[in-house]
Structure 1
Amino acid sequence: MKIHISSMLKWTACLVLTIASCKQEYLEGVKSNPAVKVYLPQAEKPNGLVDALVDGKLLVDSVAGTANFSVLVYRGGESNFDALTVDVGIDNTAIAGLITSGALPANTVILDPADYTLPSKDSVTLNNNIMKGAIIPKIKIASMTKYGGKTAALGIKIANSSKQAINTDMNKVIIYFNVDQLLDAVTPKTNMVDKTKWTVLKIASNDNVTFKVNDDGSILASGGSGGHQGVYQPFEVRANKQYKIDFNVQGQGATNTWFEVYLSTLQPTQNKDYSDGGIRMALNTWTGCGNTPFNGLLSAVKCAGSGNVVSFPNAGTVWLVIKSGGDNLGTGGIKLTNIDFRRVN
């Protein structure tokens, strides 16, 4: 029988299309033989440990204030693609032993139930030829500051599949993360100053120098005659992170006056002077600044102080103290605007 080349080409093209249209669906991951089972693919990792910041697909919900990770759920096999559900629970029993063995850092802490939310069930459905679901632990960002310098861990397990059986050799994982690294990733480096949180610090027995906090967040220091006063505000900082304080100062020129900024772990006390931690930035008419008109960032116009970037070895509360005193703060006083305190690394 004679076959035309054109007919052969058409037949070949049709065969290719037919094969392509009949391509068997497949599922990624472990395939149980002969049984089809549900499992956590990351349970294959050594000790089922999952570095959440590397393998957890971190998403930040800025409205809810949570850091959301993803723990995948797979179902093996190549048939019966009906959706199913699994129960989701917590199993932290292995964590202590992993700390002892060194598989987890010695500073690892187990997250408290108040630190996160976890769904009680997860759905597994066919998606792009994979039967899969995703358990989403939601870590409360505000709760993490108490774990500064620690590694946090949480054990997650699945059970009670509504259809195929659970692979009990691969039904548990432990997610863990460096808390400081998480906070670095999710906490924006924004101005921490709250204009409503300033407290006036009385130092001298008189009120010849006064600090007034204005509604717009600016502060006016004025007066003289041997007065001495200031303001302060507390902030929560993390260990070994750098923080920067700066703001604009404006004045017509002062006489026999000091204007100083402190940032330290010691809480100010009313009717008592403050000098803990040493001067960070200062105007000082005896040293050579502040006695003529000035208008600029204090970091630029200052003539004293150790610098406006500081870090602390331990997490906790620090107090920003701004104070001034002397004979005369100048006509109109010294005005502080755009007061900014933020983490810079």
Structure 2
Amino acid sequence: MKINASLVKLSVACLLLGVAGCKQEHLNGVKSNPDVKVYLPDSEKPNGLVDVMAGSSLKVDSAKSTVNFSIPVYRGGESNFETLTVDVSTDNSTIAGLITAGTLPANTVVLDPADYTLDTKDTVMLDNNIMKGKITPKIKIASLSKYDGKVAALGIKIANSSKQEVNTDMNKAIIYFNAADLIDAITPKTNLIDNTKWQIYHRGDGVTFKVNTDGSVLATGGNWGQQGIVQPVEVRANKKYKIDMTVAGSGATDCWFEVYVGQAVPSEASDYADGGTRIALNTWNGCGKSPFNGLLSSISCAGSGNVVSFPTSGTAYVLIRSGGSTLGTTGIKITNIDFRRVN
């Protein structure tokens, strides 16, 4: 093993002088070659592949609606610490072969140039005794949905250093990510209900649903009529979502109050049934007859439960309906309607 003479001299000097905090001026460089060169440390990984979801470089730029990744650039050596630049470009030439060999998943696709930005130059400068830079591919968040269900890959290459040469054996890397995992990572688990998007679902006279400006909803009437509200929400495949709300009333008679979440498009020509009742009041089953005020999930005595999932991504519909003899003297007031992803 070859020992770096300058490091030995520095260590001896530190011991003889006893200077506290004496810091070696050794820069991260190519381990197999003492020559001063510029390189991508990620190129040392097998096939230069970088699973960006497994690291900590992911940053979301909310102002520009991009998700950004960091690819470090190093320059080896122990002297001549002048700032330099390197050209940055894409190089996807090996991706197809890696897919064929099974090194990358069969559903891997190359990122479309329209879906990201990449600066064409990177600056490498001295930072804490390391000559380093940072390449930052910026993926447009609005474009991620087109890659859902796929792995996206992007090859990065450096060339033409303004000072020391680029190590051509370590000048390429390939970042890749599972698009569904990235979408999940950057999508906040917020309430998907928009109180301005409720539409009346009319199935018969006698019951009236009124959406108030504060987001609350009041269902009144009876006379064996039926009405409800519905709105579309965007969901992702095989993820769990939870629906809940607060309901309050004086007590109903021969009445049902049901919540559905399904992907079939509702029609006023027939009762909605996709996915079945999720949570409900049902006076025949024993809930909703006496005064109530609380979370529907706690009061409910019918339905399959308020956690749902969907086989495909796309539009689902939250539908709330009620009907029967009478919804009670005060009707049924609905507040805090909440539908959100929970995993």
| Conserved? CA contact 1:56–1:71, under 8 Å | no
Gap runs ≥5 in structure 2: 1-11
1:56-67 equivalent positions in 2, closer than 5 A: 57-67=57-67
| Conserved? CA contact 2:58–2:69, under 8 Å | yes
Task: Provide the rounded CA distance (Å) in 2 between the counterparts of 1:216 and 1:155.
Answer: 50
2:336 aligns with: 338
1:48-59 equivalent positions in 2, closer than 5 A: 48-55=48-55, 57-59=57-59
- For 1:97, what is the secondary structure of its paired residue? helix
- The equivalent position to 1:288 in structure 2, one of 286, 308, 313, is 286
C-alpha change, 1:280 and 1:13, in structure 2 (3 Å) is closer
1:233 aligns with: 231
2:8 aligns with: none
- The equivalent position to 2:218 in structure 1, one of 207, 217, 220, is 220
**What is the CA-CA distance between 1:276 and the residue it aligns to?**
1.2
Task: Provide the rounded CA distance (Å) in 2 between the counterparts of 1:212 and 1:119.
Answer: 53
2:138 aligns with: 138
Task: Provide the rounded CA distance (Å) in 1 between the counterparts of 2:62 and 2:226.
Answer: 42
**What is the CA-CA distance between 1:148 and the residue it aligns to?**
2.8
Task: Provide the rounded CA distance (Å) in 2 between the counterparts of 1:275 and 1:15.
Answer: 81
Task: Provide the rounded CA distance (Å) in 2 between the counterparts of 1:14 and 1:156.
Answer: 41
- String of CA shifts for 1:228-252, please: whole Å, max 9, x gaps: 1111121222221111000000111
1:253 aligns with: 251
1:41 aligns with: 41
**What is the CA-CA distance between 1:336 and the residue it aligns to?**
0.7
Query: Which letter does structure 1 place at the counterpart of 2:227?
Result: Q
2:176 aligns with: 176
| Identity, % of aligned positions | 68
- Residue range with higher mean Cα deviation, 88-97 or 55-64: 55-64
| Conserved? CA contact 2:67–2:139, under 8 Å | yes
| Conserved? CA contact 2:29–2:36, under 8 Å | no
- For 1:67, what is the secondary structure of its paired residue? strand
| Conserved? CA contact 1:41–1:170, under 8 Å | yes
Task: Provide the rounded CA distance (Å) in 1 between the counterparts of 2:200 and 2:118.
Answer: 44
Task: Provide the rounded CA distance (Å) in 1 between the counterparts of 2:182 and 2:45.
Answer: 21
1:194 aligns with: 194
Task: Provide the rounded CA distance (Å) in 1 between the counterparts of 2:109 and 2:301.
Answer: 46
- Residue range with higher mean Cα deviation, 113-122 or 29-38: 29-38
**What is the CA-CA distance between 1:15 and the residue it aligns to?**
7.8
TM-score of the superposition, structure 2-length normalised? 0.89
- Residue range with higher mean Cα deviation, 123-132 or 82-91: 82-91
- String of CA shifts for 1:194-245, please: whole Å, max 9, x gaps: 11121211222xx321211111111111122222111112122222111100
**What is the CA-CA distance between 1:326 and the residue it aligns to?**
1.6
1:153 aligns with: 153
Task: Provide the rounded CA distance (Å) in 2 between the counterparts of 1:322 and 1:14.
Answer: 76
- For 1:165, what is the secondary structure of its paired residue? coil
TM-score of the superposition, structure 1-length normalised? 0.89
Query: Which letter does structure 1 place at the counterpart of 2:332?
Result: I
- Residue range with higher mean Cα deviation, 21-30 or 183-192: 21-30
| Conserved? CA contact 2:111–2:153, under 8 Å | yes
C-alpha change, 1:188 and 1:60, in structure 2 (3 Å) is same
Task: Provide the rounded CA distance (Å) in 2 between the counterparts of 1:76 and 1:286.
Answer: 78
- For 2:298, what is the secondary structure of its paired residue? helix
Task: Provide the rounded CA distance (Å) in 2 between the counterparts of 1:271 and 1:13.
Answer: 89
**What is the CA-CA distance between 1:300 and the residue it aligns to?**
0.8
- Residue range with higher mean Cα deviation, 180-189 or 122-131: 180-189
- For 2:231, what is the secondary structure of its paired residue? strand
Query: Which letter does structure 2 place at the counterpart of 1:274?
Result: Y
C-alpha change, 1:278 and 1:105, in structure 2 (3 Å) is same
Gap runs ≥5 in structure 1: 1-11
| Conserved? CA contact 2:30–2:37, under 8 Å | no
Task: Provide the rounded CA distance (Å) in 2 between the counterparts of 1:147 and 1:13.
Answer: 57
| Conserved? CA contact 1:259–1:323, under 8 Å | yes
C-alpha change, 1:152 and 1:144, in structure 2 (3 Å) is same
Query: Which letter does structure 2 place at the counterpart of 1:65?
Result: S
2:317 aligns with: 319
Task: Provide the rounded CA distance (Å) in 1 between the counterparts of 2:312 and 2:14.
Answer: 72
- String of CA shifts for 1:72-127, please: whole Å, max 9, x gaps: 01112222111111122222222121111111111222222333222222110011
Task: Provide the rounded CA distance (Å) in 2 between the counterparts of 1:30 and 1:105.
Answer: 30
Task: Provide the rounded CA distance (Å) in 1 between the counterparts of 2:23 and 2:271.
Answer: 81
Query: Which letter does structure 2 place at the counterpart of 1:67?
Result: V
Task: Provide the rounded CA distance (Å) in 2 between the counterparts of 1:35 and 1:247.
Answer: 67
| Conserved? CA contact 1:149–1:239, under 8 Å | no
Query: Which letter does structure 2 place at the counterpart of 1:326?
Result: G
Query: Which letter does structure 1 place at the counterpart of 2:314?
Result: G
Query: Which letter does structure 2 place at the counterpart of 1:299?
Result: S
Task: Provide the rounded CA distance (Å) in 1 between the counterparts of 2:29 and 2:321.
Answer: 64
- For 1:146, what is the secondary structure of its paired residue? helix
Q: In the alignment, is residue 96 of structure 1 matched against residue 96 of structure 2? A: yes
**What is the CA-CA distance between 1:169 and the residue it aligns to?**
1.8
- For 2:74, what is the secondary structure of its paired residue? strand
